[in-house]
């Protein structure tokens, strides 16, 4: 795709929480099969974003088991713990990001987040502004939790966003569909449909 086709809007692909704990069969807080089913679409999107010269952000939960005051502590089992294998990117995405990071270290950002939103407590907004990026594509899990909170924060900061329904997933099908509707009808983002 040529730059001109993209109306010269600088774009970032943002992958949220696509880690072993959230996706693998034996992950600590897994989305399960729907999460595993989006791996191919995510890989294709990362490759396309890289070809187009877009920035790629990989933003994953980072938790400390001893942090008993964390708001997620009573809601969810421990997951994405510091230094654990559960924090690794799932499946082929792990190697793909490693390869791309070697090739284009200036265009791949791997950030840690401590809350649902990829904007909360991270330099994401600062980097996007610095690079003049206005258009985001959001992918990953869960559609109705971390992707939704990231989308809402993007909306409040004046970013535009695209979400492809083939590249987001949740353990809760109804909540997944509600979040997709929210992206489109409340945030005014573009939702790419697979049908």
Name the site residues for Zn ion (rule: CB under 5 A): 61, 72
**Omega prior to 65 cis, within 30 of 0:** no
Parallel, antiparallel, or unpaired for β 11-16 and 190-192?
unpaired
153/164 with CB nearer Zn ion: 153
Q: How far is the CB of 17 from Zn ion (least distance, A)?
A: 8
Measured at CB, which residue is nearest to Zn ion? 61
112/125 with CB nearer Zn ion: 112
Yes or no: say if 191 and 184 are a contact pair by the CB < 8 Å rule: yes
**What residues does 141 pair with on adjacent strands?**
169
Q: How far is the CB of 141 from Zn ion (least distance, A)?
A: 11
72/184 with CB nearer Zn ion: 72
In the chain, count H helices and then E strands: 7, 6
Q: How far is the CB of 117 from Zn ion (least distance, A)?
A: 11
Cα separation, 171 vs 86, whole angstroms: 17
Q: How far is the CB of 80 from Zn ion (least distance, A)?
A: 6
């Amino acid at each position: 795709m040529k730059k001109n086709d993209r109306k010269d809007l600088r774009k970032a692909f943002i992958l949220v929480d696509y880690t072993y704990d959230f996706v693998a069969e034996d992950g600590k807080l897994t989305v399960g099969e729907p999460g595993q089913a989006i791996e191919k679409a995510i890989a294709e999107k990362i490759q396309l974003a890289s070809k187009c010269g877009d920035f790629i952000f990989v933003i994953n939960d980072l938790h400390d088991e001893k942090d008993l005051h964390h708001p997620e502590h009573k809601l969810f089992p421990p997951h994405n713990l510091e230094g654990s294998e559960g924090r690794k990117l799932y499946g082929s995405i792990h190697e793909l990001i490693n390869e791309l990071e070697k090739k284009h270290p200036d265009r791949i950002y791997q950030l840690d987040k401590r809350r649902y939103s990829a904007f909360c407590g991270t330099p994401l907004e600062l980097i996007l502004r610095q690079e003049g990026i206005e258009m985001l594509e959001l992918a990953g899990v869960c559609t109705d939790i971390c992707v939704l909170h990231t989308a809402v924060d993007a909306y409040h900061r004046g970013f535009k966003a695209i979400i492809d329904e083939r590249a987001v997933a949740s353990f809760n099908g109804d909540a997944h569909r509600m979040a997709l509707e929210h992206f489109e009808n409340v945030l005014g983002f573009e939702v790419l449909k697979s049908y």
